[in-house]
Copies of this chain bind each other. A is one copy, B any other.
Amino acid sequence: MPRPREFDDAAVLDAATDQFWRYGYAATSVRDLGQAMRLVPASLYNAFGSKHALFTLCLDRYLDRNMRERVARLEASTPPRTAIETFLNEIVSRSLADPRGCLLVNSALELAPHDAEVGTVIAARLAELEGFFRRCIAAGQRDGSIASTYSARNLARLMLTTVMGLRVLARALPEPALLRGATRQALALLEPTCTEQTT
């Protein structure tokens, strides 16, 4: 019986996410958001409560669509080593094609240390990503597609670190040869040719 909304939730959230993604949280004003979402400030506050609440909504949505979904899909339908290779290569090609980088990484640096709520979400998702790498590596070590030279635990830690690093470099020194070379080197670690040595 109330008056229905005149805007599409998904569309305005996409627009808001893009703003935060491009410019960060602090540098995006409510008026910027309103303009991008084609929403008057009052409607924005009525629908989402506050700038901060809108941001956490965008971040959650982004992570579900750009991380969880991708990780789940790769882990379910791709051999473990290929899953890791695909994931890293996708990070690189996306980073080179999209100057916005990764909202998770951008927010990790800007907000995580000063915003407990966002910090908790980000820490959880990073741990999730580490788990993805560890499970893939462990599975790959069992089926022989990944070297057992090193511990899956530390290999996963380095893979997570590499992803974070690639995202930073893509924003500050976006040279394809750099990103591709680093990725190639990280993936070379998984190569089961080399058989000696312990970590």
Contact = CB atoms under 8 A, between A and B. Distances in A.
Contacts of A172: 108-109, 112-113, 119, 122-123, 126
Contacts of A188: 150, 154, 197, 199
28 contacts: A26-B27, A101-B109, A105-B168, A108-B172, A109-B172, A113-B171, A119-B172, A122-B172, A150-B188, A154-B181, A154-B188, A155-B185, A157-B185, A158-B181, A158-B182, A158-B186, A160-B178, A161-B161, A161-B162, A161-B186, A164-B164, A164-B165, A164-B169, A167-B168, A185-B199, A193-B196, A194-B194, A194-B196
Main DSSP-derived SS at the A contact region: helix
B182 A160 contact: yes
Interface of A: 23-24, 26-27, 99, 101, 105-106, 108-110, 112-114, 119, 122-123, 126-127, 130, 149-150, 153-155, 157-158, 160-169, 171-173, 178, 181-182, 184-186, 188-189, 191, 193-194, 196-197, 199
B173 A169 contact: no
What's the number of copies of this chain in the assembled complex?
2
